[in-house]
């Protein structure tokens, strides 16, 4: 490697782990094998990147997440904001690791825990049929506009859309509350995440003790069986605790 090449290289930072953590030699962003920069009780997991290559590709984000999720399997990890790159090991220590007792506290709080992300979505045709069947005003407007040209029923169609959206939102609040009442007792912490779309019910990040993960999965399997005709659930994890560490 030439001096010019060294000057063009920076350290992409994935996250922070304990200084005694076992870090596997796995590829990260741009295929570069990860390594570490240690300081006192903690160390940063990093990888070499070419500074002339923007780290913005979908594959880069996937590689970043794969590294962190792999680290989370064997011990606590504090993810660092995606895209963070520093010039060298000294900069990593000075900017990220030095005088950071909060990192040790975070790692202690995350010990034996991981993130599970739960997404719930309506079967759209089913929930729409429900609101039409349950609301006589919506049902009447739906029947009145059926088969009419758009220009001849424009006002009614707008009102119908507004009424349906409100009715679905009321159901969403009730269904989300019921689901959260079921799962939150199994989590140490949770973060409600932003969702979009008519079929959105709720998306929530759960910080779960490892010894309760199986109970969570079994609870959700039973819940999914009970609501599968109208709601679909998806549980993703274990993951690194992306939604529980702020913007380190």
Query: What does the domain layout of the chain look like in residue ranges?
Result: 3-109, 114-244
Three-state SS at 97: helix
Query: Which residue, among 54, 53, 50, has the nearest Cα to 8 in the 3D structure?
Result: 50
Kindly indicate the confidence band of residue 152, based on its pLDDT and cuts at 50, 70 and 90.
low
Query: Residue 201 in contact with residue 231, Cβ under 8 Å?
Result: yes
User: Among 42-46, 56-60, 74-78, 140-144, which stretch is predicted with the lowest mean pLDDT?
Assistant: 140-144
Cβ neighbours for 22, distance < 8 A, ≥ 6 positions apart: 74, 75
Measured distance CA(106)–CA(18) in Å, rounded: 11
Pair of tokens at residue 59? 């594959």
Measured distance CA(231)–CA(1) in Å, rounded: 56
Find where tokens 């995350």 sit. Answer: 110
Query: Residue 110 in contact with residue 78, Cβ under 8 Å?
Result: yes
Cis upstream peptide for 159 (omega within 30°): no
Three-state SS at 41: coil
pTM: 0.86
The per-residue pLDDT for range 163-177, each reduced to its tens digit, is 999 999 999 999 999
What pLDDT, on the 0 to 100 scale, is given for residue 5? 46
232 has a pLDDT exceeding 80: yes
Inter-helix orientation angle 213-227/154-183, to 10°: 140
Pair of tokens at residue 209? 């003790």
Kindly indicate the confidence band of residue 80, based on its pLDDT and cuts at 50, 70 and 90.
very high
For 114-244, give the CATH class. Answer: alpha beta
147 has a pLDDT exceeding 80: no
């Amino acid at each position: 490697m030439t001096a010019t090449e060294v000057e063009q290289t920076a350290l992409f930072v994935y996250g922070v782990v304990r200084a005694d953590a076992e870090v596997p030699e796995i590829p990260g962003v741009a295929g570069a094998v990860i390594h570490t920069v240690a300081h006192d009780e903690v160390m940063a997991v990093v990888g070499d990147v070419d500074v002339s290559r923007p780290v913005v590709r979908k594959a880069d984000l996937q590689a970043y997440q794969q590294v962190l999720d792999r680290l989370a399997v064997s011990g606590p990890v504090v993810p660092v904001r995606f895209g963070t790159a520093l010039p060298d090991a000294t900069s990593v220590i000075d900017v990220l690791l030095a005088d950071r007792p909060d990192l040790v506290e975070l790692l202690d709080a995350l010990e034996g825990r991981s993130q599970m992300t739960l997404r719930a979505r309506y079967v759209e045709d089913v929930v729409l049929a429900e609101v039409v069947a349950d609301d006589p005003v919506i049902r009447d407007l739906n029947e009145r506009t059926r088969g009419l040209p758009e220009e001849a029923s424009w006002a009614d169609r707008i009102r119908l859309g507004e009424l349906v959206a409100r009715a679905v939102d009321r159901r969403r609040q009730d269904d989300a509350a019921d689901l959260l009442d079921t799962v939150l007792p199994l989590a140490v912490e949770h973060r409600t995440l932003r969702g979009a779309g008519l079929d959105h019910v709720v998306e929530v990040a759960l910080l779960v003790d490892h010894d309760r993960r199986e109970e969570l999965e079994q609870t959700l399997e039973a819940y999914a069986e009970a609501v599968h005709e109208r709601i679909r659930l998806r549980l993703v994890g274990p993951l690194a605790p992306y939604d529980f560490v702020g913007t380190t």
